Amino acid sequence: MINAAHIILYSTIADADRVFIRDVLGFDGVDAGSGWLIFKLHPAEIAVHPTDRIGKHEFYLMCDDIEKTITELTNRGLTISESISNQRWGRLASIKLPSGADLSIYQPLHPTFTT
């Protein structure tokens, strides 16, 4: 039986993004060998959206209060790459990883499995 999910973020400077996720975002992790960090995630959910193309995948960190989360992250020196916007399904923002990639954060407006 499936009991978890493993998500992969591709990065042009993986070591810096791993340190960022560990030290700035505060995710617990384990060393899978040779400094290869694997991080523990909080509860997650999966949705399947329709598309007419070969599918792509997206990854969002979830929070209960996006204003508070963005304030805490900017106080830690993070760059906000996309300001908070209101969507039909939640409130969305993005932060910048050291590699320059965006990482989305959202506060869902729908019921979740995390509450």
- Burial zone of 107 (CB within 10 Å; 0-12 exposed, 13-18 middle, 19+ buried): buried
Over residues 64-91, the mean pLDDT reads 93
Domains and CATH numbers, the chain: 14-108 (3.10.180.10)
SS3 call for 51: coil
Please write the tens of the pLDDT for every residue from 99-109. Answer: 999 999 999 98
**If you ran DSSP here, which 8-state letter would residue 13 be given?**
T
Residue 115 has pLDDT above 60, yes or no: no
Tokens of 88: 């039909």
pLDDT of residue 94: 95
For 23-51, how does the pLDDT look when each residue is reduced to its tens digit (9 = 90+)?
999 999 898 888 888 999 888 888 888 88
